[in-house]
Amino acid sequence: MKRIHLLSPRLANQIAAGEVVERPANIIKELVENSLDAGSTRIEIDVEQGGIKLLRIRDDGQGIPKDDLPLALSRHATSKISTLDDLEAVSSLGFRGEALASISSVSRLTMTSATAPKEGEPEGESGQAWQVEVEGREMAASIKPAAHPKGTTLEVRDLFFNTPARRKFLRTEKTEFSHVDEYFKRLALSRYDVAFSLRHNQKVIHSLRPATRGIDKEKRVAALLGPKFIDAALHIDSAAAGLELTGWVGLPTFSRSQTDMQYFFVNGRIVRDRLVAHAIKQAYRDVLYHGRQPAFVLYLTLDPGLVDVNVHPTKHEVRFRDGRLVHDYLFRTLHKALADVRPDSQSSPTSLQGSGVLKDEVASTGFSPSGLTSPALMANSQQPITGVQAGEFSEQTRMSLLPHRNPMTGQANNPAGVQEHLNAYQSLSQPLNIASSMATTEEHIDPETGEVMTVAVENDIPPLGFAIAQLHGIYILAENAYGLVVVDMHAAHERITYERLKIAVDNQNVQSQPLLVPITLSVSEGEADAAEQHADEFARFGVLLQRAAPESIMIRQIPVILQQAEVERLVTDMLADLMQHGSSDRIQAHRNEILGNMACHGSVRANRKLTVPEMNGLLRDMEDTERSGQCNHGRPTWTQMSMSDLDKLFLRGR
């Protein structure tokens, strides 16, 4: 039997490197976090051959004094914590003191650093740059003077040169650099006040300036994640109960097939936490298509003492003191933000003024959309007389989107029977208690009767515009201020009906039904304890549980709406959620699934002929309904084609 003995420092560091250093990207993370902790305002990263041959990180931080350079390469040596109280409320990104020792044990590391000159000290003793070199084989540091401005530069060469077995697990240069690029994005998104640059094989990949204003932050996000994300994102800014959540969440229509665009930061540290992922997934449940993943960049700020970051070697996971509070806050904040999306706030096409359509019209005709002559063209009286003034045919004018009105009475010339159709539609689906209008109104006096009449005016066009036709009994074609709107009438009406059913069920108490023969479930003792502890939570959804034995519970009462469901599986899944996340919405989700099926069967079907007033009524209901951009299966209900999009199809203006 072998005797117990202490490992050599080199072997211990290489074991630690197995936890911290998996590939070059991990080194980028550890070293850049050290630079950020040092107060750097600019960080430059140079990579060669995907980081396998060379990684160089240069910053303008505080620097490291000469006497501390060899110590910085030792295990468990750090300047960030010194007592247990510091560990329980860590505010820095790094604190373990293992990164440099682990990296230097599997590479050739060179660190050059200089501190700022101190007042009162002779020149040369303060502010002098020093360089330390160490190789994995010897682990002996050599120090010599160097030329370097204030800050630190670390060079890591020949990664895993002394551990061939681990080097064989590295991928191709392209794959390794893709991981480096991903870690760079995470770091650049964590600190907008710091300038970052990334070069690969002497080629500039990213060059990001500091961003302090909101518009500059959005530009950085667009540069890293693409402009399509920021164009289809909702800005989040919320604070409650000592928690603050900011950032951007993508609209459900901007979903991904994988989780490659999900960034969540806790006090500036990126994490991948199951509790956070569960809360965000719940917030998107009603609007995201099956199998799709949301995109988001979110920042949660809270007291450092309420979160434990010392639960994983790479600090990717955290543990919250009050996980249920954090879970509920994230869910409610994002759920409300997504529910508040209406067609008027979701319309993202470029406005006509910004697209150049109106500018071209004014420039070519001399008339603005309101019919006023352009002052610039009026001032230029030396131009030859052309157009209408020269007897030519007039240019095409912009059509009014409002119904045609009698100039004498101000009343719309609607065909006979329109009101009857509109009343029939409204009786089919009663509108929500939210005021909606097709346009702003003005009061006019009828010249024949003298009565005061309210008429609509042109200056307020609804977000989804006015219906102009129905296509193959499936789609509604509408015209709004941006251009053409295409609506899937079944999907749209399905969402409207679904939301109304949820409101109707929520406004009345949950109707429960006692079971003639109670259902007995065999569970673990921990699950039985959770059932007793969260009895009120079950009762809120109409489920009555009773403990029958240390490892057995009985279901005595269930909601009427769930009498056909697999109650045993529903209860066990709910217990698992309560034990893991402190909350569960399994019953509510199952109830919503049933309501969704009811809404699907109760909505207007394809190939049904709708009149124009019925189509307009559907458009107005969409504008007043939460989450009307998607049906309850996550499919989009409408899309917008701007005038510029249509012009591109027909090559207009070329």
448: confidence class by pLDDT, cuts 50, 70, 90: low
pLDDT of residue 457: 45
Judging by beta carbons within 10 Å of its beta carbon (0-12, 13-18, 19+), is residue 587 exposed, middle or buried?
buried
In 3D, which of 100, 93, 57 has the Cα closest to residue 75? 100
User: HSE of 199 in the Cβ direction (CA atoms, 13 Å)?
Assistant: 12
The mean pLDDT value for 638-643 works out to 92
The mean pLDDT value for 580-597 works out to 77
Residue 597 CB neighbour total at 10 angstroms: 12
Q: Domains (ranges, CATH) in the chain?
A: 9-208 (3.30.565.10), 214-340 (3.30.230.10)
Query: What's at 338, amino acid-wise?
Result: L
Alpha carbons 575 and 569: distance in angstroms, whole number? 10
Task: Give all strands (DSSP E) within 364-418, no chain letters.
Answer: none
The mean pLDDT value for 204-233 works out to 95
Tell me which of 9-23, 228-242, 271-285, 373-387 is least confident. Answer: 373-387
pLDDT of residue 421: 47
pLDDT reading at 97 higher than 90: no
pLDDT of residue 416: 44
133, 141 Cβ separation under 8 angstroms: yes
24-42 tens-digit pLDDT: 999 999 999 999 999 999 9
429-442 tens-digit pLDDT: 444 443 344 445 55
The mean pLDDT value for 317-344 works out to 90
Tell me which of 160-169, 228-237, 412-421 is least confident. Answer: 412-421
The mean pLDDT value for 127-143 works out to 79
In 3D, which of 570, 522, 517 has the Cα closest to residue 543? 570
* Residue 364: its H or E element: helix 357-365
Share of the chain above pLDDT 70, in %: 78
pLDDT reading at 491 higher than 80: yes
Q: Which residues of 501-518 are buried (b: 16+ CB within 10 A; e: fewer)?
A: bbeebeeeebebeeeeeb
Beta pairing class for 307-308 and 319-320: antiparallel
Tell me which of 19-23, 280-284, 457-461, 597-601 is least confident. Answer: 457-461
pLDDT reading at 629 higher than 70: yes
pLDDT reading at 364 higher than 50: no
* Residue 335: its H or E element: helix 323-339
pLDDT of residue 89: 75
Tell me which of 79-83, 172-176, 640-644 is least confident. Answer: 79-83
307, 318 Cβ separation under 8 angstroms: yes
User: Concatenated DSSP letters for 462-530?
Assistant: -TT-EEEEEETTTEEEEE-SSEEEEEEHHHHHHHHHHHHHHHHHHTSPPPEEEEEEEEEEE--HHHHHH
pLDDT of residue 104: 87
155: confidence class by pLDDT, cuts 50, 70, 90: very high
Residue 353 CB neighbour total at 10 angstroms: 10
Tell me which of 155-169, 312-326, 400-414, 563-577 is least confident. Answer: 400-414
Beta pairing class for 262-266 and 269-270: antiparallel
Mean pLDDT, the chain, integer:
80
Query: What's at 18, amino acid-wise?
Result: G
The mean pLDDT value for 264-284 works out to 92
221, 215 Cβ separation under 8 angstroms: no
Share of the chain above pLDDT 90, in %: 44
The mean pLDDT value for 331-346 works out to 85
The mean pLDDT value for 465-491 works out to 93
349: confidence class by pLDDT, cuts 50, 70, 90: very low
296: confidence class by pLDDT, cuts 50, 70, 90: very high
- In the block, tokens 């019209």 appear at 361
The pTM of the full predicted model, rounded to 2 decimals, is: 0.73
| 21: DSSP letter | -
377: confidence class by pLDDT, cuts 50, 70, 90: very low
393: confidence class by pLDDT, cuts 50, 70, 90: very low
Alpha carbons 263 and 183: distance in angstroms, whole number? 11
First vs last Cα of the chain: how many Å apart? 85
Alpha carbons 70 and 66: distance in angstroms, whole number? 8
Angle formed by the axes of helices 586-602 and 567-581, to 10°?
130
Query: What's at 355, amino acid-wise?
Result: S
In 3D, which of 303, 307, 261 has the Cα closest to residue 280? 261
Alpha carbons 100 and 76: distance in angstroms, whole number? 10
Alpha carbons 558 and 542: distance in angstroms, whole number? 6
